[in-house]
Amino acid sequence: MRTRRTAEAAVLAAAMVLMTGCGGGGRGDGPEEATGTLEEIAAKAACEPELRPDAAELRQASCATGDGTYVLLTFASDRGQREWLNEAKDYGGSYLVGRKWTVAGDARTVERVRERLGGQIETAEPHPSHTGGHH
């Protein structure tokens, strides 16, 4: 049986498949990594967040800025963040990862947001079972 968190990750990740294209990840020097609440990180990213209902372990908001459209998430714990990322990556996409926060969007948008928030980019190809393929 899937947990609520797993179901939320699957729904968000499925939405990300529609928003993402192919692209490579990038690492390297950038701004100091953002920290703080979802609202504080959103402000640093020049986003006026459209908040979604909170879950116990994460908060999320949709952002539409000059950088592109993306989802900003903050997590109660590092473990919760890693579990969410592991599940979301089954659907592919690009993720900007900071301490207890993640930006999910297409590769170009994630790279642009990184210029404001710092963090590391992680990318994943969709798992065949999530793209209509067979095991």
Number of domains in the chain: 1
101: domain CATH number is 3.30.200
Cα–Cα distance for residue pair 94/19, rounded to 1 Å:
10
Q: What pTM value is reported for the model?
A: 0.70
Grouping H, G, I as helix, E, B as strand and the rest as coil, residue 35 is coil
Question: Does a structural domain hold residue 43?
Answer: yes
Structural domain for 103, as ranges: 4-20+36-118
What confidence category does residue 26 fall into, taking pLDDT thresholds of 50, 70 and 90?
Answer: very low
Is 81 part of a structural domain of the chain?
yes
Amino acid 29: pLDDT: 62
124 membership: H or E segment, kind and range = strand 120-126
pLDDT tens sequence across 43-84: 999 998 888 877 888 999 999 999 999 999 999 999 999 999
Q: How much of the chain, in percent, has pLDDT values that exceed 90?
A: 56
Residue 79, domain member (yes or no): yes
The answer to whether position 10 is within a domain reads yes
